[in-house]
Amino acid sequence: MFNQHYSSLLFHHKIMTNKNFNNDFPTVLFVQRRLPHYRVPFFEALRLELLSRGCNLRVLHGLPNQEELLKNDSGVLAWAESLPNHYFLGGKICWQPFHHQLNGADLVICSHENKLVFNLLFQYFYTKIKFALLGHGANLQGNANSLREKFKRRAAKKADWWFAYTSMSRPLITGFGFPEDRITIINNSIDTHKLTQHINAIDDIQSIKKRLGLYGSRTGVFMGSFYHEKRIDFLLDALVLIKKEIEDFEMIIAGDGVQRHLVEAFCVQYPWAKYVGLMKEEAKAEILAVADVMLNPGLIGLSILDSFVGAAPVLTTDCGLHSPEFVYLNHGVNGIVAINSLPDYVGAVVDLLRDSNKLTAMKAACVQSSREFSVENMAKNFADGIMNCLHKPVYRKLD
């Protein structure tokens, strides 16, 4: 939830102009291939943060491809502008032209993705308008020696600024020759304040557990999308073995995706595991409030912030699939990174659930970590980089 600073700005912003922007301010176009629901609070915060610094923000986005539609995670931003998306080769290529909406733009920010072909044209040929990239610096789940990744590194230099998700991305970006003084670390986040408020408003955890059909004393949760890198098969195999070691262990699985059928079949077979679908807002807070640990043996991304806010230490593996937000995990303090094998992962979960003192300490560490990350801080970091970029020359002409 926005603090008083943002609320005051929003009031003045609404009465300032019917167009919701000031023609005397520089304008930033933030282009997104699609708009996930967890990005909406960030764009609201960034819009107000930039307004306070004398800068307009416009957000342009298209629709997800067919596979992404199954995630059911799209968001709505009332003031955003729509873009046409044309997908080819099963979604591997996306033509998302935005040249008709460039009028008045001083800076364009796009995601670092090979599939976004129009972005490449803009990078190389539209040098009168500044251009920035947002991303990881590399495909952390890809082959660094592949032709695809080599091309991605080459194209990544054709930018005037870089917005890196976390500190993990900095050496990746400087590694392909991009200047460090044109990189902003944004510390990628979700709306942790709003989720914290929802959790703090809960005063009867037992009634939530009863409604979910949970009666044990130790509860795990998985929260995220169901796709290959999340290693759903591994997770389900681990749950069976954990249950054999801890008789009153129960599991909540929240999310959606292409592998939902695996989760649904598992929960039918094992009634102590509950599939609750995609959870948002208050419903998401309730699930986190009853969880003792978060189990995710596959890719760790923004879900680690759910773990922190919910005081449910995440247990993952050194699988090599993680997103940049993985750097937020401090092994043995606010989460655990087990060896990438089923016995080692199960052993780590069982050991933590049996050690109440260690679990209590890790829960407290999670809460402390949650205070470091927010969409407001992310927006401020982003705005810092935007203003610096606007005041520097176009790097693509200097390169």
Domains present along the chain, CATH in parentheses: 4-191+375-398 (3.40.50.2000), 192-370 (3.40.50.2000)
The residue behind tokens 């970590």 is: 369
Residue 105, CA atoms < 13 Å, CB-side half-sphere? 23
* Residues written for the chain: 399
- Decide if 308 contacts 367 (C-beta within 8 A): yes
What pLDDT sits at residue 17? Answer: 36
- Decide if 155 contacts 121 (C-beta within 8 A): no
Q: pLDDT tens, position by position, for the chain (399 residues)?
A: 444 443 333 333 333 333 456 888 999 999 999 999 889 999 999 999 999 999 999 999 999 888 778 777 788 999 999 999 999 988 889 999 999 999 999 999 999 888 898 988 888 888 889 999 999 876 655 566 677 677 777 778 889 999 999 998 899 899 888 999 999 999 999 888 889 999 999 989 999 999 999 988 899 999 998 989 999 999 999 999 999 999 999 999 999 988 999 999 999 999 999 999 988 889 999 999 999 999 999 999 888 999 999 999 999 999 988 988 999 999 999 999 999 999 999 999 999 999 999 999 999 999 999 988 889 999 999 999 999 999 999 888 555
What pLDDT sits at residue 202? Answer: 93
For 36, 70, 319, 328, 391, the CA distances from 233, given in Å and listed in that order, are 25, 19, 14, 25, 50
Query: Using CA atoms, how far apart are residues 347 and 342, in angstroms rounded to an integer?
Result: 8
Q: Residue 217, Cβ neighbours under 10 Å: how many?
A: 12
Q: Residue 269, Cβ neighbours under 10 Å: how many?
A: 10
Query: Using CA atoms, how far apart are residues 275 and 254, in angstroms rounded to an integer?
Result: 6
Strand pairing category for 93-95 and 130-135: unpaired
What pLDDT sits at residue 157? Answer: 86
For 222, 238, 348, 350, 357, the CA distances from 343, given in Å and listed in that order, are 19, 8, 9, 10, 23
For 136, 155, 273, the CA distances from 132, given in Å and listed in that order, are 13, 12, 44
pTM above 0.85, yes or no: no
Strand pairing category for 293-295 and 314-317: parallel
